[in-house]
Structure 1
Amino acid sequence: MPIAPLLLPILAFAASNAPAPSHDLHARFEADLVHLDAPLAHGGTVHFYTDSGGGLFLTEAAVERLGLSTLALPAGSDAPPGARGVGWPAFRDAAIPAPPGDGIVPVMPTDPKAPAWIDWDGMLGQGWFGGHVWTWDYPAKRLVLEGDGWKPTADATRVALGFKAGADGARETNFPRITVRIDGRAVDLLLDTGATTRLTPAALKALGDGGPAVRATSMIADVQFKAWRAAHPDWRVIEDAQEQTHAAMIEVPSVEIAGHAIGPVWFTWRPDRAFHEFMSGMMDAKVEGALGGNALRHFAMTVDYPGGAAWFRCSAGCKVTPRPAP
């Protein structure tokens, strides 16, 4: 008998046990916000907005346009009675991971009051990112699903992340809490790659940076916003900076992330309840706001969701912050 046929089962077994490689999803980075255009296997493309601080859904308009069949969401889901969902579509890029569990994605009804600039077909949020290791390489504009053999590089700095877990230790949500240092103090924030603002014409003129109106931002709750403003009257504030909400924003000169000082970073005002109540209720501890792409843009950041940590490599615009000896 030829030897080759005898080797086939062995080779097949070896291939099935080979570590999964890293995979570049070829995302679009626009104003430090990350979009993913995902062609379907049967034709058509889903334009996703990715957001580590957001949810998972497809819009009703996209489902109709793409001809996707809907089904009732399973009992016990957080959706209201009568809500619909779709099974995870077959994408041309088979490496795009399906969400955990049954793979059913809620369908978001059309909101006639939604701003015209929100024109994407759906969101890939915390439930989709969870369970994997991801790299957001902002300078290189790459979103990478890391393989089984991923290891941090020697020049990366580890930062522990907090995730909400039940009494049994099982992960309940995948909203990451990160601790940064601002004005000499530790500040807990949601690590939020999708934090977005649309600036008013007056705010764009005041900034004068040539950037677009829709861009990444960071966010801060009212009580901290007021504390910074009272302690630092020299920190620049732009009133009525955000369209629709008319929220102000404050320029923080320096934010320390993973031992690197970066800045300045603009933080958009939010009411206390948005973070102290709503967002903190889904996290392992109280957060004061969100750290967005306008701060993360200096880094290649790898978030190890199973390991509860992030690794940061600074590419540009960072200053190492010395720490006193213990």
Structure 2
Amino acid sequence: MMGAGYLALAMALALAPVAGNTAAQVLPTRYEAGHFFATPTTRDGQTLRLLADTGGGGNLGLYWLSAKAAQRLQLATHTCVLPDGNVEVAALPSYRPGQGLPPPLSVFCAQVVLIQNQTSFDDGQLGAAYFKGRIWTFDYPGQQLIMQDSSWKPHADAHTTPMGFQKNDAGQVVASFPRITIRVDGQPLDMLLDTGASAYPTPAGARISGVATVHGEGVASYITRSTLEAWHRAHPQWRLVQQGDRLGHYEARLIEVPQLDIAGWSVGPVWFTERPDAAFHDMMSSMMDKRVEGAVGANVFSHFVMTLDYPRATAYFRCASGCKLATPPPAP
């Protein structure tokens, strides 16, 4: 759960003026097994590696660096005191022209980078809060991550779907984790839109699912244990892999669904990785506008050029490969 201090701060930032978008910018990026890693280079020639993760942590509208990376870059850090705890922040690294990142829209304690003592993804992360307020294209076939300018228009072939965000009573977004609705087996499922959802397949999981990995890591979509078990009961013919993924502190099951509908497109088959119910029903849902059953990730998005328009709370999906038009759901 978010503390009262975080919510108060998020509301203050929602009210603060933000700069308008500048020209569209292709971020320096490395694409590995379905993940986008931003790779900006500092003026003294050091390259960072930051996972682009719409479902990732961080707050205050900032992107975060590991404490180790901040030390390597010799960034001066500063402790900001919040009602529910302290945060470490720093000034932006000085990047080479044309090899940097769009600066965060928020400035907090006169600083714009959040420092974390822990890191799971190399030097840090472009998390959910950083993407807020702008338009981003994740071009999976082109392997490009683009910040669009305000003149961006969707492609004529793109399909749209709304993104839901947690808001306060005044209608202001207080958490930037996007929710979208997909359909599996004819049923709608509310899910986190998660470009950073990761797979760590066991040898059996990799062999059966065919997930591509770099250094043992690939991309995935997640589903709660209760939904996985409901799918398995209803469709015992759907492939199930015991101990298929090493995500977390146990070896999770994988289940293959034959078809998934997203934004009026159908793709499939799609593998889902089991997660405990509490991970989404409790923890993740506490930061979203509705309860979610899991996360849809880049094993689905890889079929698309996907643009996320945060100001308009709309996602656009243009089919690149392996898609067909979805059958419309029956009228209520």
Instruction: Place the TM-score, normalised by the shorter chain, in its bin.
Output: 0.7 to 0.9
Q: Is 1:104 aligned to 2:106, yes or no? A: no
Report Cα offsets for 1:202-251 as digits up to 9, x if no partner: 32233356654310100011111111111110111111112242111111
Which of 171, 174, 193 is equivalent to 1:172? 174
| Matched pairs, number | 301
After the TM superposition, which of the residue ranges 25-34 and 156-165 deviates more from structure 2? 25-34
Query: Does the CA contact (< 8 Å) of 1:52 and 1:192 recur in 2?
Result: yes
Alignment of 1:81-160 (within 5 A): 81=86, 83-92=87-96, 93-94=99-100, 96-102=102-108, 103-110=111-118, 118=120, 120-160=122-162
Mind listing any 5+ residue stretches in structure 2 that lack a counterpart? Answer: 1-19, 59-63
Which of 187, 191, 194 is equivalent to 2:193? 191
Query: Does the CA contact (< 8 Å) of 2:202 and 2:245 recur in 1?
Result: yes
Check 1:140–1:275 CA distance in 2 against 1; reply closer, same or farther (3 A cut). same
Alignment of 1:200-211 (within 5 A): 200-208=202-210, 211=213
- Give the Å deviation of 1:322: 3.1
Check 1:241–1:296 CA distance in 2 against 1; reply closer, same or farther (3 A cut). same
**Equivalent residue number for residue 61 of structure 2:** none
Q: Is 1:64 aligned to 2:71, yes or no? A: yes
Which of 242, 247, 250 is equivalent to 2:255? 250
- Which residue identity lines up with residue 106 of structure 2 in the other structure? P
Query: Does the CA contact (< 8 Å) of 1:160 and 1:178 recur in 2?
Result: yes
- Give the Å deviation of 1:100: 1.7
Query: How many angstroms apart in 1 are the aligned matches of 2:232 and 2:167?
Result: 35
Query: How many angstroms apart in 1 are the aligned matches of 2:211 and 2:180?
Result: 28
**Equivalent residue number for residue 8 of structure 1:** none
- Which residue identity lines up with residue 49 of structure 2 in the other structure? H
Check 1:197–1:19 CA distance in 2 against 1; reply closer, same or farther (3 A cut). closer
**Equivalent residue number for residue 312 of structure 2:** 307
Runs of 4+ in structure 1 over 6 Å off: none
Query: How many angstroms apart in 2 are the aligned matches of 1:302 and 1:174?
Result: 15
Q: Return the TM-score normalized by structure 1.
A: 0.86
Alignment of 1:226-241 (within 5 A): 226-241=229-244
- Which residue identity lines up with residue 155 of structure 1 in the other structure? D
Query: Does the CA contact (< 8 Å) of 2:197 and 2:219 recur in 1?
Result: yes
Secondary structure of residue in 2 paired with 1:163: strand
**Equivalent residue number for residue 31 of structure 2:** 29
Check 1:324–1:51 CA distance in 2 against 1; reply closer, same or farther (3 A cut). closer
Query: How many angstroms apart in 1 are the aligned matches of 2:313 and 2:52?
Result: 20
Q: Is 1:222 aligned to 2:229, yes or no? A: no
- Give the Å deviation of 1:278: 0.4
Q: Return the TM-score normalized by structure 2.
A: 0.85
Secondary structure of residue in 2 paired with 1:280: helix
Check 1:206–1:154 CA distance in 2 against 1; reply closer, same or farther (3 A cut). closer
Check 1:73–1:26 CA distance in 2 against 1; reply closer, same or farther (3 A cut). same
Secondary structure of residue in 1 paired with 2:252: coil
Query: Does the CA contact (< 8 Å) of 1:99 and 1:127 recur in 2?
Result: no
- Which residue identity lines up with residue 192 of structure 1 in the other structure? D
**Equivalent residue number for residue 7 of structure 1:** none
Q: For the aligned residues, what is the CA RMSD?
A: 2.1
Q: Is 1:73 aligned to 2:84, yes or no? A: no
**Equivalent residue number for residue 54 of structure 2:** 52
- Give the Å deviation of 1:42: 4.0
Mind listing any 5+ residue stretches in structure 1 that lack a counterpart? Answer: 1-17, 112-117
Report Cα offsets for 1:11-35 as digits up to 9, x if no partner: xxxxxxx983211113222111110
**Identical aligned residues as a percent:** 39
**Equivalent residue number for residue 265 of structure 2:** 260
Query: Does the CA contact (< 8 Å) of 1:85 and 1:106 recur in 2?
Result: yes
Check 1:305–1:19 CA distance in 2 against 1; reply closer, same or farther (3 A cut). closer
Query: How many angstroms apart in 2 are the aligned matches of 1:240 and 1:147?
Result: 44
Query: Does the CA contact (< 8 Å) of 1:73 and 1:106 recur in 2?
Result: no
Check 1:155–1:107 CA distance in 2 against 1; reply closer, same or farther (3 A cut). same
Query: Does the CA contact (< 8 Å) of 1:31 and 1:211 recur in 2?
Result: yes
Query: How many angstroms apart in 2 are the aligned matches of 1:324 and 1:237?
Result: 27
Secondary structure of residue in 1 paired with 2:36: strand
Report Cα offsets for 1:59-106 as digits up to 9, x if no partner: 121112121111112434x5x44x422222232235523252324333
